[in-house]
Chains A and B, each alone.
Chain A
Amino acid sequence: MIKFTRVFKAYPKGDLALKDVSFHLRKGEFAFLTGHSGAGKSTVLSLIHAERKPTEGEVRVSGFNTTSMPRREIPKLRRRLGIVFQDFRLLEDRTAEENVAFALEATGARSNTIGPKVVRVLTQVGLAGKAKAFPKELSGGERQRVAIARALVNDPFVLLADEPTGNLDQRATRGIFKLLEDVNASGTAVLMATHNLDLVKNSPYRSIELEHGEIVFDSVVDADQEAAR
């Protein structure tokens, strides 16, 4: 699925953003990526969607080796991923449904297939009634739902979420988290970077903690090790 093997990532100046990072996210798994700002969470996600390449080591994402893949292959990989960010990254001059349709149009989907797919994902995220609303007419939680709908519309095998609740109040955070759980329940793996420790503590999911670019805790590995003892 997603496999990091002894991954190092150096900044241009030579400092290491990631040091010897190895983990394996299995099909349909839900995992948190935690740590302070600058611990390397976003770097891990950017290596998965091939925005950056590892300096050393290997990153495998569903059959793609992002270390050695040519640039022209990157779009193929990204069409299989769903990505959401803290700042939503919506187009302000387009309605919710247009924002979602944009992801299909930009990947050359046939126009007659776009409408039904958009309706399906907007319903899935609970925004069927606000399809014609512009982002500025929506609350923060609703905007993130539009972004999640856009990420889901290409049927990704994994949803990468970089601090998806970072800009949201508690109530909206709970709503978005519930939505991500639902997405996971329908079979899509979720890798969520967050520093909301309450969310992590109160959930049964795997958590991988980064500190200064190193994995200092991985609940699955630790559980495995305990089982081995």
Chain B
Amino acid sequence: MSLVIREAFLSFRRAPSLSILSIITIGFALFVVGLFGLVALNFKEALEEVGERVEVVVYLTRGTPETVALAAYDDILTFPEVESVDFVSADEALVEAREQLTEFQGLYSDLATNPLPSSLGIKLKPGFRNEESVRAVADRVSGFRFAEDIQFGDDWIATLDRVRNIAAIIGLVVGAAFALASIMIIGTTIRMTIIQRAREIGIMRLVGATDSFIRMPFLLEGVVKGALGGVAAVGLNYAVFELVNRTLLQASFFGTEHILLIVAFGILLGFFASVFSVRRHLRAV
């Protein structure tokens, strides 16, 4: 076992530039993936904030009794998409209008009858803040007799949906491309190490070392490089995050589980790249 560890680290000592190069490439590949993750993370948070404002507002026909409105309120709450319903009576609407629209205060106070309808504001659960669900809820609510008008921002909900989908697709494509690139780079560096160590491998075989024993230093080397690359990527991402945070806008950074995920991803990349490369190239020496 000690020989395995020694052999794995020997390649760092013997070919420091090659080792640093492969750590940098893994680090850089994961950095770009991480950078995208960071963008996606902040995008997602921003979208969630916007998504909270997705609302279907039902204006009730004048004269709808409050009991009917409250029955509808209970009914709508049972919809699977619905998070909360906010009943605003005509009187409350007037008070609100007076408060918010101070320029028209005089106008509103002079009214003999309240011109504003009562309404139900429907907020959807996080998973349903998309165009489809909004339309489904609006359609169902429009079946109520007392629903005079229904408002929902269908245009911008559609746009929001598209942006989110495009972001997810780009993330997957870019992430996959870079993962593939780093697998190829790690594979190539392992191949170089194997060629460089062909003599040692030949001697190991000659004296009766098993194939798995010969493979182990390379796998360990791949795992260590992957882990170091992952750590480097987190560091680079943090540097970018700090820079953006100080100069551009308030952003969020990864949580501990995301950081561990990046390092684990690096380890996984390093491991599979070396398994793949060792299997292919060890036979040739």
Contacts and interface: CB of A to CB of B under 8 A. Distances in A.
Interface of A: 49, 71-72, 74-81, 83, 89, 91, 93, 102-103, 105-108, 111, 150, 154
B203 A89 contact: yes
Contact of A108 (B14, B205, B213): B213
Contacts of A80: 208
A108 B200 CA distance: 16
A91 B211 contact: no
Which residue among B3, B199, B204, B213 has the maximum number of chain A CB atoms within 10 Å of its CB? B3
B209 interface: yes
Given A105-B3, A106-B213, A150 B199 contact: no
A78 B213 contact: no
Nearest to B207: A103
Main secondary structure of the interface of B (DSSP, over half): helix
Contacts of A49: 206
Contacts of A108: 213
Contacts of A105: 2-3
Given A105-B2, A105-B3, A106-B3, A91 B208 contact: no
Closest 7 CB pairs between A and B? A78-B208, A79-B208, A105-B3, A106-B209, A103-B207, A75-B208, A106-B204
B100 to A, nearest CB: 80
B235 interface: no
A162 B275 CA distance: 34
A108 B213 CA distance: 9
Interface in B1-43: 2-3, 14
B207 A79 contact: yes
B212 to A, nearest CB: 9
A80 B206 CA distance: 11
Most-contacted residue by chain B among A74, A89, A102, A106 (CB, 10 A): A106
A83 B206 contact: yes
Nearest to B6: A105
A102 B201 CA distance: 11
Given A78-B205, A105-B3, A111-B2, A91 B199 contact: yes
A106 B210 CA distance: 8
Nearest to A77: B208
Given A89-B199, A111-B2, A150 B207 contact: yes
28 contacts: A71-B211, A72-B211, A74-B208, A75-B210, A75-B211, A77-B208, A78-B206, A78-B207, A78-B208, A79-B207, A79-B208, A83-B206, A91-B199, A93-B14, A102-B203, A102-B204, A103-B207, A105-B2, A105-B3, A106-B3, A106-B203, A106-B204, A106-B208, A106-B213, A107-B208, A108-B213, A111-B2, A154-B207
A74 B211 CA distance: 10
A26 to B, nearest CB: 23
